[in-house]
Amino acid sequence: MRISRRALLAQLAAALPAADRKMKITSVKAVPFRLLQTSRFGTSRFASDHDPARWRWFGPFSQLSGSILVQIRTDQGLTGYGMGGGGEAACYIIEHHLKDLLVGVNPLNVEMLWDQIFSSTSFYGRKGLAIMALSGIDLALWDVAGRHANAPVFQLLGGSVRDRVPAYLTSPNPEIGMKLGFRAFKLPVNFGPADGEDGKKKIVEQIKQARNIVGQDALLMIDVLCRWNVDYTLEIAERLVEMKLHFIEEPLLPDDIPGYEKLCAEVKGTRIASGEHEYTHYGFDQLLRRKAAHLLQPDVTWSGGMTTGKRVVMLAASRSVPVVPHRGGSVYGMHLIQASANCPMAESFGTGEPGNELMALLTAPFENGHYRAPEGPGFGVEFSDSLLRKHAPELV
């Protein structure tokens, strides 16, 4: 029987080893995978229309309370996992839009797929939910690429520039970190302009107490989570000069770039850190061009994935601006940090926090104040069937 050319090529392709055939994505799924409770970031119960809590209710789609897990399967039996943000809303975007751009394509074209997805969502999502969804997809693609190469992601990024990275603990209780070997500490500060002079005094007292606990040689930082304004920040920075703060993180809302420009030009005795709530290398490029941050803090699980992280590090290095990724002690953040000479520290992730098995799984190996990236293929994380059945049964 005569065989057509197309059929013959199909038979030859089927006879080749799987590694020699063009790999294709066969399945894309995303599920909510909350690492922290939504209530950690506020309450939906308000005393009045003017209740200050209304400005601090971040809902179920932000930060780690809105974490999602993206699973990408291929026709070669490889499965990649990536963490994103945006909760159920981001999962909806993936299921009803982004999956169309992924199924049937080669997952190894990671950066091309990032550009295609960004272009396809740009009319409704240049920042926020669409990029949170893209982050989980991008990390899952990098995981597939590492597993395909049988190498950790930091090797795909150019190799490790150090074998471990000093870490800082984010916690109101620095004593916890001292027991674990941390020598750098960041304190959440919950007072702002609405608290008047009494709030200013409480901030100064909080930082003085922390400095006395950690000692003069330890790094000490504060995180304001966008509660302040320019004048308030400059005044508090001046009052805290003797405390030798390494940086003040996110004193203003992320879109107040003129305000950040002013702070960076005028603040004394400390640095201004920003970027935890910025998105894609385009957004970070604006911060750099306008000299609106002394230190950048992308979160690879919602700012655009590893592709964004890699591009941000390159942009920042060209301007001698350090990058300290938000929650860099996660397995995802550590691969970027360990491959980047311009990333001097890793923020804590899971370490010193109330434990749960999801956080523990995604926390990079930690020892005596330092993190290191896992050395297994991809991101070095294995999601067992038993864990998926418990927390994400749709992915089994």
Residue 76 CB partners (closer than 8 Å, separation 6+):
18, 19, 21, 23, 148
Q: How far is Cα 267 from Cα 384, in angstroms, rounded to an integer?
A: 49
326 is catalytic: yes
Token pair of 258 as six digits: 């003129």
Q: Are 295 and 324 in contact (CB under 8 A)?
A: yes
Of 293, 338, 284, 290, residue with least CA distance to 314: 284
Q: Are 270 and 237 in contact (CB under 8 A)?
A: yes
Give the active site residue among 246, 277, 326, 370.
Answer: 326
Q: How far is Cα 20 from Cα 9, in angstroms, rounded to an integer?
A: 14
What is the chain's percent helix, strand, coil content, to nearest 5?
A: 45, 15, 40
- Name the one residue in this structure whose structure tokens are 């750099």: 288
Q: How far is Cα 180 from Cα 172, in angstroms, rounded to an integer?
A: 15
Query: What positions carry a catalytic annotation?
Result: 326
